[in-house]
Amino acid sequence: MNTLLATLLSGSGNQFDYTYSLAAEVGTVAQEDADWDMASNWQVNTTGLRLGYQVNDNVDILGSVHWGSQGNGSAYDYYYYEEYDESYNSSMSGYEIQVSETLIHLGPKMSWNINSWLAPYATAQGLVIHNRLQMSDNGSFDEDSKTLIDDSGLGFGATGALGLEIRTRPIAKKAQLFFYGETGVSAATALNFSLQGAGADEGDINIGDLGYGGSYFRLGAGTKF
């Protein structure tokens, strides 16, 4: 095992010359708003793709898109269990909520290439978040639902992170596999949702906002070519 690892990681000592990189990722930007508990008690990781463009040996421009969905079913569970609590008296049937997330990062990455297979790095990226909030009583989010909330929100922010990248031996001098993990902090404006035109005189009625911010975490694997 150790021999295989040494073989994979060993290189000529020179950096692999590439133009682009493509990686698959999982990770989170922390949800800092307690109201997220209505969607799910535990934050679910997003998954996505990261595309890189090498500017020079130490600098890449990174862009990534992540998708995720925070749903409940938990609201149904909540009511289900509470039915057996004699102190609870609910006349309602329960509701379902789903938040579909899209997170876009774009920014530079500065690497410190210690050797051909190990490179700590730092990155600072702009962040755009789009969420679609859907709620209904019967769990379907189409127009047949008797009640339906469907609105989108947009947030803007930034992420700063430090990471560690491990690279394998280049394959036929054309491609190189790499693995990385990074962590840091994110901050973003809250995403606001409303009932469009539901207010008196067709004004909007505020639902409120959901916020992101705090810890940031990513794990990824990909190839440079």
Partner 1 sequence: MRKSLSILTALTLLSACDTLQYDSRSGDLWDTNVASANDGIYINLPFADELIRVNESGISVVDLTGAIPNRLVESPDGSQVLVFANWEECKDDDSDIVYPEDCDDLVSNSVLSIVSDATVTSEVEIPSHLNTVSFSNDGAIAVAYLDYDAGGDIQVDGFADLGEVAFIRVSNGSKGSASVGFSPKQVLFSPDNQAVVMSQSQVVAVDLDTFEKTLEAPLTLDADQAINPSNAELAYDPESGVTNLLLTVEGSSDIYMLNLESKYWNIGDLGAIATDIGVDDVTAQSVFVFSGSSKAVVLDHGELATLNASSLQDIDLEEPSNKALMGAGFAMLYNDASGAVHDVYKLDLATRELTEYVVSNPVSELMITDSGSYAVAVVRPENSGSSDYQDSRYGLSILDLSSDESISLVAQSEPIGVALVEDESNSYALALLSGSDTLLQVNLASPNSPAEVDLPAPPVSIAGMPNGNFVITHNQSLGMVSILDPATLELQTMSNFAVTNLFEQKELPRTESEQNEEAE
Give the integer Cα–Cα distance in Å for 149 and 193: 10
The three-class DSSP label of residue 195 is strand
Site for partner 1 in 145-184 (CB under 8 A): 146-149, 161-164, 183-184
Note whether 73 binds partner 1 by CB under 8 A.
no
Among 16, 141, 180, 193, binds partner 1 (CB under 8 A): 193
Among 136, 159, 168, 176, binds partner 1 (CB under 8 A): 136
Of 175 and 187, nearer to partner 1 (C-beta) is 187
Residue 210 burial by CB count (10 A; 0-12/13-18/19+): exposed, middle or buried?
A: buried
Shortest distance, position 172 Cβ to partner 1, whole Å: 30
Total residues binding partner 1 (CB under 8 A): 52
Q: What is the largest CA-CA distance in the chain?
A: 73
Q: Please report which helix (H) or strand (E) contains residue 157, including its range.
A: strand 148-167
Give the integer Cα–Cα distance in Å for 105 and 122: 14
Q: Nearest to residue 30, comparing CAs of 103, 111, 126, 132? A: 103
Note whether 93 binds partner 1 by CB under 8 A.
yes
Task: Please answer whether residues 11 and 116 qualify as being in contact, where contact means their C-beta atoms are separated by less than 8 angstroms.
Answer: yes
> Which of these segments, 11-19, 100-108, 171-179, 212-220, binds partner 1 (CB under 8 A)?
212-220
Name beta bridge partners: 120. 164
For the chain, the residue count is 225
Q: Retrieve residue 215's tokens.
A: 């810890």
Note whether 198 binds partner 1 by CB under 8 A.
yes
Q: Retrieve residue 196's tokens.
A: 């469009």
Note whether 215 binds partner 1 by CB under 8 A.
yes
Site string (100-119) toward partner 1, x via CB under 8 A: ------------x-x-----
Among 210, 218, 220, 224, binds partner 1 (CB under 8 A): 210
- Residues in touch with partner 1 (CB under 8 A): 30, 32-38, 75, 78, 90-95, 112, 114, 120, 135-137, 146-149, 161-164, 183-185, 193, 195, 197-203, 205-210, 214-217
